Structure 1
């Protein structure tokens, strides 16, 4: 790269995906990492600051704060959390606001992470529909962009620490239904590659996955890492509305009927990004 220490603004730097990217960027002296957070005094934000991240306060609902955070930035990593059930398009408004701010700021590369489910509208999952709106908007902007569409997050399967400690995890999918997962660490690896290789990644929309597993596989991997047996138990379908919000139920039904089927060997061959299996990722983060 010709300009050392260019700035990357990482939105959601204290989260799984943003944090994954921060970790990869900090391994290079080419980048100055600026992390946007609503709570710069939080423990996670202060931990980032201790690692050399410039932590700035900002809120995606506050355009002025986004504009200020992007000042002088070469690149922007954009990710939004799932919005409330009664206003799923809040996420779309945030993602669009970030993209528009990047254009105003003259940002050279926008990397946006959506979801592998956000390819076809009207799947009954408003969370995905919101991301589709952001993608459609970004495509129309005059800015180099890369869109990453990850499959299910590996972090989602650590939701029940008490259950894991007691040797059982419960979920809505059938035990042998295949699903695909990827960690925030590996999403961050793809995002870092995009910033490091803009000529290769600009204009690309990439569906990304690291491993194909079943819920039984996830339980077994958890058991090996924690050192005792863990089994998977399916929640009866009639109980799904009791344990999940409507969008979560709709998403699970889509996973159960269709699911993701990304060609992981082809992904690795084309992009050359090393990724971790679920069990490797658990060990790498020291999860117990």
Structure 2
């Protein structure tokens, strides 16, 4: 009988880590979640699902090392600087600390969730280039590792300020320009599958996406889900001229670095069918979409 494995998930109260922790638990695995506050709503929700909480802080190396004791496999993801919670340098420090602690604790396998823009040369945007630095560090360590590079999350489109509640949705692509996206549920189950099978995936860097979507696709899917027309438009030139962050990000979409290069048919052969935007809007995305649709117009920020 195979010995039970112990999985440690970082970022478990966030989007990616939470999806991976839930997917591992759904497979019947033993899961630890690294959390700062065991009494937070999201941490308690994990505990209610039978996930063990280990309290620590990514700025405290000793707490990371304690959490690693007895762990077989690790999922590593860090907060990026656009959150306003860390600098790019701190993200790199935390990513390296997790990997180094895994080596010190004789962890057999680590999956590092990077980003779709990483590993393709310098972008000039710190929160992308930081991930390339962490990738390079992990590749130099004596530990079996897989790097996953997710495309943009479908959930990201429901952030406040994109205009769903005005009937005009604003995003990065031109109307006929494709951009790859993935639903968090797919991201969670794929990373869980990789964590459970290092013999298949160690040493690889995998681009992850579920669907290639144009602005017109968004317009059709959002209009259908809303039950009334939602017009799509790209961020205006005036907005981009006055917002350096959005302008640089849009340039990386235009030159293909952030648009996504995943081989989606190959991913589906390996990991099974991916959620389309329409399917996601009818399932896991329905409640947050309805909330964004009905948000008070005073909350509009990016128009």
TM-score by length of 2: 0.87
Q: Which runs of 5+ in 1 are unaligned?
A: none
Tell me the equivalent position of 2:57.
59
Tell me the equivalent position of 2:20.
21
Q: Which runs of 5+ in 2 are unaligned?
A: 291-303
Structure 1 residue 241: Cα displacement: 5.4
Structure 1 residue 208: Cα displacement: 1.2
Deviation beyond 6 Å, 4+ runs, structure 1 = none
Tell me the equivalent position of 2:274.
275
Q: How does 1:27-42 map to 2 (within 5 A)?
A: 27-29=26-28, 31-42=29-40
Deviations 1:191-221 (A, max 9, x none): 1111221210111111111100012322332
Q: Provide the secondary structure at the position in 2 that maps to 1:89.
A: helix
Structure 1 residue 228: Cα displacement: 2.8
Deviations 1:87-127 (A, max 9, x none): 32221111011100111111111000101210222222221
Larger CA deviation: 124-133 vs 248-257 = 248-257
Q: Provide the secondary structure at the position in 1 that maps to 2:193.
A: helix
1:261 to 1:43, Cα distance in 2 relative to 1, 3 A? same
CA distance in 2, matches of 1:71, 1:163: 46
CA distance in 2, matches of 1:123, 1:260: 14
Deviations 1:19-75 (A, max 9, x none): 11122111222x111111222211111111111111222221111111111111111
Tell me the equivalent position of 2:263.
263
Q: How does 1:48-197 map to 2 (within 5 A)?
A: 48-83=46-81, 87-160=87-160, 163-197=163-197
Asked if the contact 1:210–1:277 (Cα under 8 Å) also holds between the matched residues in 2, the reply is yes
CA distance in 2, matches of 1:161, 1:179: 20
1:188 to 1:8, Cα distance in 2 relative to 1, 3 A? same
Q: Provide the secondary structure at the position in 2 that maps to 1:69.
A: helix
Compute the RMSD of aligned alpha carbons: 2.0
Asked if the contact 1:18–1:184 (Cα under 8 Å) also holds between the matched residues in 2, the reply is no
CA distance in 2, matches of 1:81, 1:283: 29
Structure 1 residue 133: Cα displacement: 0.5
